[in-house]
């Protein structure tokens, strides 16, 4: 699983961090960034993607 945050879309509201701080954190720009895509966090990462108010989280599944 590859997880990225579209910095052009992210508004830095931190919803993803609130859901799974083990996978997302704020960068120096005040916007979220993915830093841990451990497979054990996959369900929470997907929940963060679904709940992002601006749809900035992009998940690419491994083939």
**Hey, what's the torsion of the CAs at 39, 31, 8, 63, to 10 degrees?**
-10
Q: How many structural domains compose the chain?
A: 1
Which one is predicted more confidently, 44 or 63?
Answer: 44
Give the tens place of pLDDT for each residue, 8-40. Answer: 999 999 999 999 999 999 999 999 999 999 999
Residue closest to 20 by CA, chosen among 6, 35, 31, 8:
35
CATH at 27? 3.30.70.20
pLDDT band for position 62 (50/70/90)? confident
Query: Tokens representing 57?
Result: 């989280």
For residue 12, give its domain range. 2-60
pTM: 0.92
Q: Which residues are 26's β-sheet partners? A: 32
């Amino acid at each position: 699983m590859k997880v990225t945050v579209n910095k052009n879309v992210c508004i830095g509201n931190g919803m993803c961090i609130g859901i799974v701080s083990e996978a997302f954190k704020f960068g120096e720009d005040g916007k979220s960034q993915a830093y841990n895509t451990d497979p054990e966090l996959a369900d929470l990462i997907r929940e963060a993607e679904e709940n992002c108010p601006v749809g900035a989280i992009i998940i690419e599944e491994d083939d």
